[in-house]
Amino acid sequence: MSDTTSLLIPYAASTAEGCQQALQGLALPHLDRLLARLSPHTAQTDTGEETSFTPPHERALARALGLPFDDGRTPWAAWHRHQQGQPAHGQAWAFITPCQWHVSTDHITLRDPDSLGLDEAASRALLAIVAPWFAEDGIALHYDQPTRWLASGALFDGLATASLERVLLRDVRPWMPEPRAAQAARTLHRLHSEMQMLLYTHAFNDERAARGLPVVNSFWVHGTGPLPTPAPPPTTVPTVPTTLRDAALREDWRTWATAWAALDSGPVADLLRQSESGAPVQLTLCGERNAQGFHSAPRGLAQRIQGFFRPQRFMDLRNQL
């Protein structure tokens, strides 16, 4: 269940040139009024790097859920299974996303898995093809969604992996687990090579190519680790809109700016109204590096005077995200 008094906004800003240009003409009046009412919330504020395996909004959400948020080691797959009412304790889990790697002379780009056109039947057929190879390394695959499977195995215990969002439409090589760091990472590298060789000339891809569909030649592992014991108790989660994320990942900054305007007049305006009515609210703004949290809190006289003359504005915060 989503908490309407807590709003977590991924990709609220980016250092990308296109985003900085889009911000120049962007007016967010409800957000500026809301920020002027709120105080910094240190529990939902952290710093990272654009090279961190886990993006800031995932770290913030993990905190809210009581999950580990070590870089690359938030057990999202185990949490997902637990939320489905399936046993997840005692094992390490991971998400496996079948995908296409486009290889050029100097890049290996992970293309958007949603562009593959995989339906459930095709995904299950592909899973049946590759499952025996994973099983040889102690990994059991389970169908979950057309572009996402669940996997269990000791290999995922302690293995840091990059969020799919970090690598989407980018060169995969900087985001691979370091093979010198652990046997698990070396096993994963070998599995990538084996899957590429297996699928390169497989009838599954021949049939897809004949129908004009993209071939599937690799996979991405993310959301690794075991669920904490005891498991975090059920809780409401912040409202997490995805419209900014979807546009930012494709570097469509015009759509991103339009989405920000819609958020400002929708969920942000709703949060402002709740704040003005006296309800305690929380706001977390996330970029690609950092997260900045804000909440309703009593402010001293000096803070109120400073806020009156110099209210917090989003344009002042954008370079901190």
Is pLDDT of 126 > 90? yes
Each residue's pLDDT tens digit, 265-294: 999 999 999 999 999 999 999 999 999 999
Residue 266 within a domain = yes
Judge if 108 and 199 occupy the same domain. Answer: yes
Judge if 263 and 218 occupy the same domain. Answer: no
- Average pLDDT, integer, range 283-306: 74
Is pLDDT of 263 > 50? yes
Q: Which of 13-22, 127-136, 219-228, 303-312 has the lowest mean pLDDT?
A: 303-312
Looking at per-residue pLDDT, the higher value among 12 and 90 belongs to 12
What pLDDT does 180 receive? 53
Judge if 221 and 275 occupy the same domain. Answer: no
Judge if 269 and 292 occupy the same domain. Answer: yes
What pLDDT does 229 receive? 84
Q: What is the count of structural domains for the chain?
A: 2
Judge if 81 and 216 occupy the same domain. Answer: yes
Each residue's pLDDT tens digit, 199-252: 999 999 999 999 999 999 999 999 999 998 888 887 778 999 999 999 999 999
* Helical ranges in the chain per DSSP H: 17-24, 29-37, 56-65, 76-83, 120-135, 164-167, 183-200, 203-210, 243-249, 253-263, 269-276, 301-309, 314-317
Each residue's pLDDT tens digit, 71-115: 999 999 999 999 888 887 779 999 999 999 998 888 899 999 999
Q: Which of 203, 226, 249 is the last residue of a domain?
A: 226
Is pLDDT of 304 > 60? no
Is pLDDT of 298 > 60? no
- Average pLDDT, integer, range 28-47: 88
Residue 170 DSSP label: S
Judge if 168 and 276 occupy the same domain. Answer: no
What pLDDT does 306 receive? 45
Give rounded-to-5 percent helix, strand, coil for the chain. Answer: 45, 20, 35
Residue 290 within a domain = yes
Residue 149 within a domain = yes
Q: 2 falls in which pLDDT band (50, 70, 90)? A: low
Residue 16 DSSP label: S
Judge if 61 and 189 occupy the same domain. Answer: no
User: Which tokens in the block code for residue 148?
Assistant: 């996402």
What pLDDT does 216 receive? 96
What pLDDT does 45 receive? 82
Q: Which of 68-72, 97-101, 140-144, 299-303 has the lowest mean pLDDT?
A: 299-303
Judge if 196 and 139 occupy the same domain. Answer: yes
Residue 129 DSSP label: H
Contact assessment for residue 169 and residue 110, using Cβ atoms and an 8 Å cutoff = yes
Each residue's pLDDT tens digit, 155-183: 999 999 999 999 999 999 999 987 655 78
What pLDDT does 310 receive? 44
Residue 71 within a domain = no
**Residue 210 lies in domain:** 76-226
User: Which tokens in the block code for residue 253?
Assistant: 């900054």
Judge if 108 and 180 occupy the same domain. Answer: yes
What pLDDT does 305 receive? 38
Q: Which of 165, 200, 226 is the last residue of a domain?
A: 226
Is pLDDT of 307 > 60? no
Each residue's pLDDT tens digit, 39-62: 888 877 888 899 999 999 999 999
Beta bridge partners of 97: 220
What pLDDT does 73 receive? 94
Judge if 135 and 205 occupy the same domain. Answer: yes
What pLDDT does 181 receive? 57
Judge if 216 and 110 occupy the same domain. Answer: yes
